[in-house]
A and B are shown apart, each in its own frame.
Chain A
Amino acid sequence: MFVLMFYDVGEKRVAKVLKTARRYLTWIQNSVLEGDLTPAQLEALKIDVKKVIDEKYDSVLLYVWRVERYMQRDSLGVERGTTDYMV
């Protein structure tokens, strides 16, 4: 599944959420990550993120597509992160 993740969390927890999310997804720009996950990995990501956020205050959004093909991705300006696997 193709996953887009956005987070808006208290300043103290920004680094923690980023660190957790980076294990599953690729950093695209501040507070945004994307990547291909299996359903199980997506659940694992959610569980891990829940451990570090304050559920009464923070907000994390996950957009999920069944396959990347149905998504159109346009980009303006600078591409900050890349998902290329040949580095």
Chain B
Amino acid sequence: MGKTLYLMNSGELRRRGDTLCIVRELEKPRFLPVESTDEILAFGEIDFNKNLLEFLTQKQIIIHFFNYYGYYMGTFYPREHLNAGAVILAQAAHYMDPVRRQAIASAFIGGAIENMKKVAGYYKRRAALEVDDILSDLDSFAETASKTGDIASLMGIEGNARNRYYQFFDRLNTDPDFQMVTRTRRPPSNRMNALISFLNSMCYVLAISQIYRTYLDPRIGFLHETNFRSFSLNLDIAEIFKPILVDRTIFSLVNKRMIQEKHFEKQSGGGIYLNEKGREIVLRAWEERIKETIELPQLKRKVSYRGLVRMEAYKIQKHILEGEKYVPFVSRW
């Protein structure tokens, strides 16, 4: 699995000497190995030309763009290098058929809730936290989700479960600087919400990058409506991983006091965002987290969390093509 390049500062990204190169004023040009790069996340003001985009397409490197506040702007998704009409047809057929679509959608929700329970349960053991009320509510949400037939109410259950689960954040973390109170988005109203929003978008682009390496079409999601937004399958897959990747990273950052009040700034519109320094700390912790490997008993080898997201895509592919029932990944602890 290739590397992820995080472009934090402004500069020119270009093709030079048949590889990637960052050119900045008063600095020596810095060459980067193109053959072992999989994706680029651009945060700084990056100048580039079409020649670079051609090069990225040829090397199958995906690039995600973020604005000044770290808000996701879009993706340069190079021409599909893995093309199979059969997969697209199967994916669309599963989307069009309410019964088959519901089967996949509720698997996503089941997996998401199961992983929320794992995270809350982990801190129940570790921090002797009182979370039984939340756990039992999550159980009943999972129960209703498995019986619900229509997608709109599934999405509703998802939202309710997540809101209930978010109540555990303020119980675990009593630091007044990082109270969430309620989940707010667009714009995030406080530091905890800013962290969640920022890392959630990292989880979404992680899923896009991994879907790009499979035959699946990221535009056709099952839980999230396929409409005129560009990608939605990535949102489905990210749903499963958000508790174990995003939330665990947040707790570790806040509990170890790696991220602090000084790493945030207020935008004129009223939202709170990570500043440059804060963003770097969070991204380094994120990269560490998704690079971490765990032993998979069924494979008898270690897989990184990033690789696990790819495997999730493969499992969906198998489900729609070969009818091998999709079972979402659930963390063991």
Contacts and interface: CB of A to CB of B under 8 A. Distances in A.
B152 interface: no
Nearest to B22: A87
B133 interface: no
Contacts of B8: 86-87
A87 B30 contact: yes
Contacts of B32: 26
Contact of B6 (A37, A44, A87): A87
Nearest to B1: A38
B52 to A, nearest CB: 15
A85 B286 CA distance: 13
Interface of A: 19, 22-27, 35-38, 41, 44-45, 85-87
Interface of B: 3-9, 17-19, 22, 30-36, 280, 283-284, 287
A79 B214 CA distance: 39
A26 B9 contact: no
Contacts, number: 49
B10 to A, nearest CB: 11
Nearest to A27: B31
B283 A86 contact: yes
Contacts of A86: 6, 8, 280, 283-284, 287
A36 B36 contact: yes
Contact of A87 (B7, B36, B287): B7
A24 B36 contact: yes
14 contacts: A19-B17, A19-B18, A22-B31, A23-B19, A23-B33, A27-B31, A35-B36, A36-B3, A44-B35, A45-B35, A85-B3, A86-B8, A86-B287, A87-B22
Given A86-B6, A86-B280, A24 B35 contact: yes
Given A23-B18, A24-B36, A36-B36, A87 B3 contact: no
Which are the 5 A-B pairs with shortest beta-carbon distances?
A86-B6, A23-B19, A22-B31, A19-B17, A24-B35
B33 A22 contact: yes
B36 A85 contact: no
A47 to B, nearest CB: 12
Given A85-B3, A87-B7, A22 B36 contact: no
Given A26-B33, A36-B3, 18 more contacts: A19-B17, A23-B18, A24-B33, A24-B35, A25-B33, A26-B31, A26-B32, A35-B33, A35-B36, A37-B35, A44-B35, A85-B6, A86-B6, A86-B280, A87-B6, A87-B7, A87-B8, A87-B9
B280 A41 contact: no
Contacts of A36: 3, 36
Contacts of A26: 31-33
Contacts of B3: 36, 85
Nearest to A15: B17
Given A85-B3, A86-B283, A41 B17 contact: no
Nearest to B31: A22
